[in-house]
Structure 1
Amino acid sequence: MLLYAPLLLRFAAYAFAPPTEAEIDQFLAKAQTKVNAPGMSVAIVRNGKLAYAKGFGFADVEGKVPASGQTVYRLGSVTKQFTATVIMQLVQERKLALDDPIRRHIPDLPAAWEKITVRNLLNHTSGIYNYTGLPHMMDKMVLRHTEPRGIVKTVEDRPLEFEPGSRWDYSNTGYEVLGLIAEKVDGQPLGESLKKRIFRPLGMGSTYFTLDGKIARRHAKGYTVRNGKLADADPIDMSWPYAAGSMESTVVDLAKWDAALYGDKILPQAALKQMWTETVLSTGNKTGYGFGWALGEVNGAPIIEHGGGIPGFTTDIRRAPSHGLTVIVLTNSDNGDPGGVAGRLMGFLDPELTLAAAAGIPDNDPATTALARSTFESVLSGNLDRSKLSPQMAKLLTPEFLAGAKAQLNAAGPLIAFTLLAATDEPGLKHRTYAVTLGETTLKFQFDLSADGIIQGMSLHG
């Protein structure tokens, strides 16, 4: 479960003087003490110009190395927007098309994947099983070095989770396949494509695509919270995250990336608009996701965002293009809440970007809501009844995963509200979306329940 931007009470519009640098410092110093990470770096970008870049706390606690705007962090899934951009560049060059079947480019992929297109991979509608949910993946398999094709092979014998295009389900595997396609079409390793196509043209000299475990200069040390105490993060061989999460960068370099998104240097605006267009499923339902970016709005203002989580680090980049404002938050703990900080900071900088309290809809099935709430509360307490989980969910929600989720969620604050936002049913399956408020942070909790009372899906995001 990832914590992304919070929903806060909107305060009335009035003449507003932007906060001073000292006030921002004070706001972020306080936020850093609550973010559940020893170190945090933050950048504020206004109309493509870097307006603020500082660090708070420690990049290395034992060495007493302070975090700064130049501290390098692992980005996790923030990598996906870069992989998606390389794919869109290749589309612009007519080297592939969004609706190409993926087996056209990688013929030895399973025959069962023949209907999956490049577009399905970009927007998480492929139905390919997410390899990070495999048993022992995160505690054993990721310790060994692998090759990109080897990552995909771990799930090739599994049936598709659904017909491509009919559902949305976040899949790191899909982005690993995109990396393979980019390498095949571009004729070079993905890291070289990223370097030549994005990092060098934008002057992102402290940004890396790391598969070999080498440590960059000024690199933050990753931490976790274990048994209530700060501890070194679990190790991971960086060959596994690959196209879904192997980048490292600084808030200053990511500000350069944000600036490029206002122009045409990396991609034409028409192509970027495609990336920022919400995916609509074959059922007509919307997904809140484009190509490598999550999409939403605050008081009518579009929000383009993505978070990342990888052992030792959590990250977030949150853009409000109509207001010319971007906030980038990187932390060196996998229990951190950078999305919450980014959302609160954006509202602090511009009151029009402070979210209103979530408005609920009439609840015609209170029994399902009661079950959803009790399930969520059991995650908070660490007493989830695993017999109520589908086999797939039981494999995904390992005891280690749940322990981390418990620590992260409880750090956000007590459960204050549980509000129904959306309810849709299909034969044998109920889909529910709730606004869950923990302290000052409000998140969307998605809950899928089959007719026999088994939990088929459960996720939490902004």
Structure 2
Amino acid sequence: MNLKHTTAALLFFGLLIPALSKAQSSATPDSIDVFLKNKMQQRHIPALQVAVIRQGKIIKFKSYGTANLENNIAATDESIFSVNSITKAFVGVAIMQLAEEGKLKITDPVSLYVDSLPLAWQKITLQQVLTHTSGLPDILDANEQVMGDGDENAALKKVKELPLEFNAGEKFRYNQTGYVLLGDIITKLSGMHFTKFIEDKQFKVAGMKLTRFGDSYDVIPNSAGAYTMTKYIAGQFIRNSSPGVAYMQFPVFFRTAAGILSTAGEMGNWIIALKGGKLLKQQSSIEALWNPAILKNGKIGGFNSLTNGYALGWPTVTRAQHPAVGPVGGGRSALFVYLKDDLSIVVLTNLMGSNPEQFIDEIAGFYIPEMHEANGFGLPPAIQKLRVELLKQGFNNSASAVANLKKKDPLFTLDEDDLNGWGYRLLNQKKAVEALSIFKLNVALYPQSANTYDSYGEVLEMMGDNKNALLNYKKSLALNPKNKNAADRIKVLSGK
């Protein structure tokens, strides 16, 4: 079994969210409410806020669940969530604001504005720092803690002693050091601390009255807190069955990397202000802000296959269909601005590891139906072609469907992991019969893979066919004697 694929107040509205449509903010549940409540249950998310933006307005803003588990306090539309690294998107806007003022160019070397940098850092540009292609050593230590025990000078002294991780422009590697330097640059060029610059030039302009900088140490009214499903024990992260309290502390100098807390509604207003020309006056500035960095090999680099590029503080979802920019933070908060669609979605949660970016596209599907996962959106190109063919011929004719596709294109091929992933997607969509045919096809295409037999056995067992499930688990174990899942299921099904 491939685990990668199985882990699949009304007054407030009037005062703070003037763009909110009253019709969409009513308490009447809709299909999105049902979808999100199911996701919260599946992922053990205590509290979640969502905002949907179209035509320059927030058409849906709603809060769900429990903001404070210790005292059983329900989430409200005033509950404030940490957005963690989405803070970097605000920094990208701040840098472009300074560029519009003529105070810098993103192609300038950082050394033009920051003194006493190591020689190897001298030619690294602001753009390379913003896009995590700088090669700078990371200011976080092996335990993911900021160096220097909260002291900026001590932290910078330590990180400056480390070698570059690679030559600038060669790779994408997420890095916090550059954002600390950007904070110093914003402070120097604006004449005010970077936190105040962002507050004055973005929070206030967008009407974000609840949004602020802070961390777990600060007393924050209406804070939704932070929870986690993992606990660090004996050098390992152990997953629990219920959430526990997480503690996050961001030194002030580090708050260009993470440190903003907000509501989904106010984040929605920030997007409206940005797209409406209130934060950046030139369209070329927004285009630069959202344009992913091109590496020296001509490719883009990002976190994963979804957020596969990185622009100026903004991860990008670079794809042919419904591309987006998609800042994410702390594995708990995300927002997608769909570049070719009049649609933006913000999802904030208080659970680290809830990864809402993984289901924002599905929320988008309620407004753009072709984006629903059940309609094939997000599948790899070869799988999409196979899906179209199977919808014509029937899933029980998968072998002939593949033969037809190969006849049309001799280079047509199906990736084992892609097929496996689609099978589990179909299971999640409660299409067990269709899923079974895909796992059976994967076994036929990859008969030497232990994982294909393991997955096929799992679905057969789910459908009550224990005899054939046992046969497939045995084949899987024969190919991979270390397959613990297959060994365990064989014991159970054999009654041993």
Could you state the TM-score of these two structures normalised by the residue count of structure 2?
0.65
Larger Rg: 2
Unaligned runs of 5+ in 2: 1-5, 9-23, 231-239, 302-308, 384-410, 418-427, 429-434, 440-454, 456-496
- Aligned counterparts of 2:370 and 2:319: Cα–Cα separation in 1: 8
- Aligned counterparts of 1:142 and 1:51: Cα–Cα separation in 2: 43
Whether 1:145 aligns to 2:150 is yes
Percent of aligned positions with the same letter in both sequences? 29
Whether 1:270 aligns to 2:284 is yes
- Aligned counterparts of 1:218 and 1:233: Cα–Cα separation in 2: 17
Aligned length: 357
Whether 1:359 aligns to 2:381 is yes
Deviations 1:322-362 (A, max 9, x none): 22111111111112121123222112332233424113597
Number of the residue aligned with 1:305: 326
- Aligned counterparts of 2:147 and 2:71: Cα–Cα separation in 1: 27
- Aligned counterparts of 1:237 and 1:98: Cα–Cα separation in 2: 26
Number of the residue aligned with 1:228: 241
Q: Secondary structure at the match of 2:275?
A: coil
Number of the residue aligned with 1:246: 259
Number of the residue aligned with 2:491: none
Q: CA deviation at 1:99?
A: 1.6
- Aligned counterparts of 2:194 and 2:339: Cα–Cα separation in 1: 28
- Aligned counterparts of 1:167 and 1:356: Cα–Cα separation in 2: 25
Q: Contact 1:143 / 1:237 at 8 angstroms: preserved in 2?
A: no
Q: CA deviation at 1:118?
A: 0.7
5 Å-filtered alignment, 1:7-406, equals: 22-132=30-140, 134-138=141-145, 144-147=149-152, 149-210=153-214, 213-226=217-230, 227-239=240-252, 241-267=254-280, 268-287=282-301, 288-297=309-318, 300-309=321-330, 314-354=332-372, 355-359=377-381
User: What letter corresponds to residue 265 of structure 1 in structure 2?
Assistant: K
Q: Secondary structure at the match of 1:161?
A: coil
Unaligned runs of 5+ in 1: 1-5, 9-17, 371-410, 419-436, 438-462
User: What letter corresponds to residue 136 of structure 1 in structure 2?
Assistant: N
Deviates more, 1:297-306 or 1:62-71: 297-306
Larger strand proportion of the pair: 1
Q: Secondary structure at the match of 1:131?
A: coil
Deviates more, 1:232-241 or 1:29-38: 232-241
Q: Contact 1:223 / 1:230 at 8 angstroms: preserved in 2?
A: yes
Could you state the TM-score of these two structures normalised by the residue count of structure 1?
0.70
Q: Secondary structure at the match of 2:161?
A: coil
What CA RMSD, in Å, does the superposition of the two structures yield over aligned residues?
Answer: 3.5
Q: Contact 1:211 / 1:239 at 8 angstroms: preserved in 2?
A: no
Q: Contact 2:216 / 2:247 at 8 angstroms: preserved in 1?
A: no
User: What letter corresponds to residue 352 of structure 1 in structure 2?
Assistant: E
Q: Contact 1:299 / 1:352 at 8 angstroms: preserved in 2?
A: no
Q: Contact 1:44 / 1:326 at 8 angstroms: preserved in 2?
A: yes
Q: Which has the higher contact order (CA 8 A, sep 6+)?
A: 1
- Aligned counterparts of 2:157 and 2:216: Cα–Cα separation in 1: 20
User: What letter corresponds to residue 212 of structure 2 in structure 1?
Assistant: Y
- Aligned counterparts of 1:277 and 1:163: Cα–Cα separation in 2: 21
Q: CA deviation at 1:213?
A: 3.4
Q: Secondary structure at the match of 2:63?
A: strand
User: What letter corresponds to residue 334 of structure 1 in structure 2?
Assistant: M
